[in-house]
Structure 1
Amino acid sequence: MIKEIFVLRSIGCLSIVLLHSIYIGIQTETIREMGELSAIFFDSIQMILYYGTPMFIFISEFLIAYSYRNRELPNYFLKKRLRFILVPFFVMGVFYALPFFSGGMQEGFNKILMNIFIGDYHGYFILIIFQFYLFHFLFHSKLKKWPPKIVLLVSFLINAAYLMFFNFTSPPEAWTIGPYIWERFYWLPMFGWVFYFTVGYYAGTNFESFSKFIYKYRYLFIIGPILTSILMLTLYHSGSLAVHSSKRTDILIHTIMCIFFLFYMTSRMKELPFFLEYVSRFSFGIYLLHYFYIFLFDFFYQLQPFTIGFLYIIVLFVFSLSASIATIIIVNKWKYGFLLIGQIGAPYSPPKKQALKR
């Protein structure tokens, strides 16, 4: 087990819950009630936290590349992931479509199909992950032979060009589905995430060399997230790049800097913090469930609203995180609970020998 991955998974998960809490909190508590400066501050925090989703692309591929770097992929490689990851995605896709049945049976079933086949809810990330599972399964032998620097450069250019196209262009007026493609569907193809995949692949395959690289350039990676955050906020607040999602072009560098920073800081830890280790074990279920509890709390809050300003964001965050973990524990007491909400991960067990040598 690699403790850095536990921290990355936990921080990524917490970041996603917090940014969604901010998103709903800012809408509920109006800028006037919250205070304009407070709203701008949390809006900026939300922008910085967008590294959370792409970080999971890196984590997913890192784990596969590291686990199978000295052995062949087993025959059950895809089957296992279909069972433990894709089935819960389908279940939650149906679950999040249930409110749409209030508009009629057709609207409800249409929403189910959209959720499952094109990821029309926040679980879309799972469909992206499965594209990379398949890509790894088909091309991992070639990736081992190709020059890493070339692959990383090409994947970065493809990723950046793809995001820039949708960030800086508008859909053709003749396309009736154009707005949907530009606003959401372009998130789904792997081209918008491929750089995180290749970085994760080579970091996992060459873990020892990657660790030495992180240590060698540690000062750059310590200051890196600060610089990329300043760059993102400058572009965003100036209107130069107004996209408000994890599909911004500049998020490519920001995410990598945050990953490398967390890798270095965690490598210096003698012990893994209990809270981060605990959240990491529940991260998949939290990712699927937290938005439901955010919406649920906000629904009841709207019935009898009272102004609490930015504290509402904290309440949403704590409630959705706690309720998600409690639900995961309860559901997994059932033998087949993992099919609904995913498994609870194994606890961290420190290696007997230090894996990294400085």
Structure 2
Amino acid sequence: MKPVVKEIFLLRFVACLGIVFMHGVTLALDIYDIGESPLLVVLTSIQLAFMFGTPLFIFISEFVIAYSYPDHLPKKFYEKRFKYIFVPFLFIGILDAALHSIGTNSGEFEKKVILNLFEGDFHGYFIVIIFQFYFLHPLFVKYIVSKYPTYKVIITAFLINFGYLAFFNFLDPYEYFYYFPYAELEWSVLNKMPFPAWLAYFVTAYYCGRNYEVFLKLLQRFRYQLFVVYLCTLSFLLAIQFLGFITEIHSKRIDVILYTLSVAFLLFYIASKMQRTPSFVIFISRYSFGIYLLHPLFNILVKSFLSNYAEKLSTFSVVFISFFFSTISSIFVTYLLNKWKFGAYLVGQVHLDEKLSASNAKQVLNHRS
């Protein structure tokens, strides 16, 4: 496997902490009964602005695979990812069910386990999505990439992705599919779990990763447009929300696709211009999977504790307490478990051996000379 490109560290850093901060805002909204007010507008805007987190992780996952294994996957590719990604998904899914079942009626734990592992009813659903793309990757390379022009593949992927999400974003399941049992649950699962809901990220990331050097040159060429596109897509996202066209706040919105890709490209450009990636960015990046898996569990504890002091704390105090406590606690637990030989099967590996690619090292040297 090739060394990791240095830009990936910044993307993981921002995606990871963006998700944690966004969940901190969600926690504050759960604690406080905030009616229609400027504060609600601000908090909702922050949630939407950080909605790129999960799809950005999908982009990162395929980018790394396409860059590292442009022609074929190594022999133990699936074995390693099953042990260090899918097994933690199972463990955290069961642990999440246990925490959510405390104080509930008998049978709720078993029900929640089934929902978590088979319906993706917790934050770990993202792992099921990337595993779909793990299996689609070799088929995509063999039957699509080798036979069709790049621009046709990308356009087709976007049309499928837009069309799929538009169906769920703009149709009311209670109006059109009321005859289905558990219509709301089925609607939610189909909205987020099948790979067509995320196809644009996968295809775009594949071509960017496989053609890494060309990708960086294009970012350099259109560097000024990157900032404009980011501001435009963010403004469009907020406008769609507050004009009432789409009011649900989640990453499966049709307007999040272009916004997430604008964030990814902008971050790539910024990272490519850094002479040296800050050590704290690399540190958080290496612990990002553990932080992603564990922080919602710590948020359950934070919510239980802070609810008793809600009157003494401001809304943003709750957000920042949640952000720092869940992040630090997740890192600490991930670090401790990785000291145990079976710990990586519970929260994933900490890749302390990741190194910059040779091309990036040369870029750094050229900047310094």
In the alignment, the residues of structure 1 paired with residue 359 and residue 219 of structure 2 have an alpha-carbon distance, to the nearest angstrom, of 20
> What is the DSSP-based 3-state SS (H/G/I as helix, E as strand, rest coil) of the residue aligned with 1:343?
coil
| Partner in structure 2 of residue 73 of structure 1 | 73
In the alignment, the residues of structure 2 paired with residue 117 and residue 330 of structure 1 have an alpha-carbon distance, to the nearest angstrom, of 29
Q: Give the AA of the match of 1:110.
A: K
8 Å contact from structure 1 (residues 278, 347) kept in 2: no
8 Å contact from structure 1 (residues 65, 201) kept in 2: yes
The one of 321, 338, 348 equivalent to 1:342 is 348
8 Å contact from structure 1 (residues 156, 194) kept in 2: yes
- Answering whether residue 286 of structure 2 is matched by residue 284 of structure 1, we say no
In the alignment, the residues of structure 2 paired with residue 258 and residue 270 of structure 1 have an alpha-carbon distance, to the nearest angstrom, of 20
Evaluate the alpha carbon distance shift between residue 251 and residue 170 of structure 1 in structure 2; reply closer, same or farther with a 3 A threshold: same
Please list the CA deviations of residues 82-127 of structure 1 after superposition, one character each: whole Å capped at 9, or x if unmatched. 1110000000011011132643443211221221122111100000
> What is the DSSP-based 3-state SS (H/G/I as helix, E as strand, rest coil) of the residue aligned with 2:341?
coil
| Partner in structure 2 of residue 162 of structure 1 | 164
| Aligned-pair CA distance for 1:276 | 1.3
| Partner in structure 2 of residue 238 of structure 1 | 243
8 Å contact from structure 2 (residues 52, 263) kept in 1: yes
In the alignment, the residues of structure 2 paired with residue 255 and residue 309 of structure 1 have an alpha-carbon distance, to the nearest angstrom, of 27
TM-score for the superposition, normalised by structure 1 = 0.94
- Answering whether residue 152 of structure 2 is matched by residue 150 of structure 1, we say yes
Please list the CA deviations of residues 222-254 of structure 1 after superposition, one character each: whole Å capped at 9, or x if unmatched. 221111111111110110121211011111110
Structure 2: runs of 5+ lacking an equivalent: none
Percent identical across equivalent pairs?
37
In the alignment, the residues of structure 2 paired with residue 143 and residue 208 of structure 1 have an alpha-carbon distance, to the nearest angstrom, of 22
Please list the CA deviations of residues 45-89 of structure 1 after superposition, one character each: whole Å capped at 9, or x if unmatched. 1111111110011100011111111x4322222111111100000
Please list the CA deviations of residues 175-217 of structure 1 after superposition, one character each: whole Å capped at 9, or x if unmatched. 1221112334420000100000001111111111111111111
| Partner in structure 1 of residue 13 of structure 2 | 10
Evaluate the alpha carbon distance shift between residue 251 and residue 177 of structure 1 in structure 2; reply closer, same or farther with a 3 A threshold: same
Q: Give the AA of the match of 1:140.
A: V
The one of 225, 228, 231 equivalent to 1:226 is 231
| Aligned-pair CA distance for 1:144 | 3.1
In the alignment, the residues of structure 1 paired with residue 229 and residue 317 of structure 2 have an alpha-carbon distance, to the nearest angstrom, of 30
In the alignment, the residues of structure 2 paired with residue 12 and residue 29 of structure 1 have an alpha-carbon distance, to the nearest angstrom, of 26
| Partner in structure 1 of residue 333 of structure 2 | 327
8 Å contact from structure 2 (residues 191, 252) kept in 1: no
| Partner in structure 1 of residue 314 of structure 2 | 308
Q: Give the AA of the match of 1:333.
A: K
In the alignment, the residues of structure 1 paired with residue 90 and residue 297 of structure 2 have an alpha-carbon distance, to the nearest angstrom, of 15
Evaluate the alpha carbon distance shift between residue 186 and residue 133 of structure 1 in structure 2; reply closer, same or farther with a 3 A threshold: same
Evaluate the alpha carbon distance shift between residue 76 and residue 349 of structure 1 in structure 2; reply closer, same or farther with a 3 A threshold: closer
| Partner in structure 2 of residue 270 of structure 1 | 275
> What is the DSSP-based 3-state SS (H/G/I as helix, E as strand, rest coil) of the residue aligned with 1:103?
coil
| Partner in structure 2 of residue 27 of structure 1 | 30
In the alignment, the residues of structure 2 paired with residue 345 and residue 174 of structure 1 have an alpha-carbon distance, to the nearest angstrom, of 49
Answer with 305-314 or 4-13: which moved more: 305-314
| Partner in structure 2 of residue 299 of structure 1 | 304
Report the RMSD for the aligned CA atoms in angstroms: 1.9
The one of 163, 175, 181 equivalent to 2:180 is 175
> What is the DSSP-based 3-state SS (H/G/I as helix, E as strand, rest coil) of the residue aligned with 1:89?
helix
TM-score for the superposition, normalised by structure 2 = 0.92
Q: Give the AA of the match of 2:167.
A: F
| Partner in structure 2 of residue 85 of structure 1 | 85
| Partner in structure 1 of residue 114 of structure 2 | 113
8 Å contact from structure 1 (residues 84, 338) kept in 2: yes
Answer with 174-183 or 210-219: which moved more: 174-183
- Answering whether residue 41 of structure 2 is matched by residue 40 of structure 1, we say yes
8 Å contact from structure 1 (residues 277, 348) kept in 2: no
Structure 1: runs of 5+ lacking an equivalent: none
8 Å contact from structure 1 (residues 38, 310) kept in 2: no
8 Å contact from structure 1 (residues 64, 204) kept in 2: yes
Evaluate the alpha carbon distance shift between residue 141 and residue 179 of structure 1 in structure 2; reply closer, same or farther with a 3 A threshold: same
Q: How many residues align?
A: 355
| Aligned-pair CA distance for 1:304 | 4.0
In the alignment, the residues of structure 2 paired with residue 184 and residue 136 of structure 1 have an alpha-carbon distance, to the nearest angstrom, of 22
In the alignment, the residues of structure 2 paired with residue 52 and residue 164 of structure 1 have an alpha-carbon distance, to the nearest angstrom, of 20
| Partner in structure 2 of residue 215 of structure 1 | 220
Evaluate the alpha carbon distance shift between residue 351 and residue 78 of structure 1 in structure 2; reply closer, same or farther with a 3 A threshold: closer
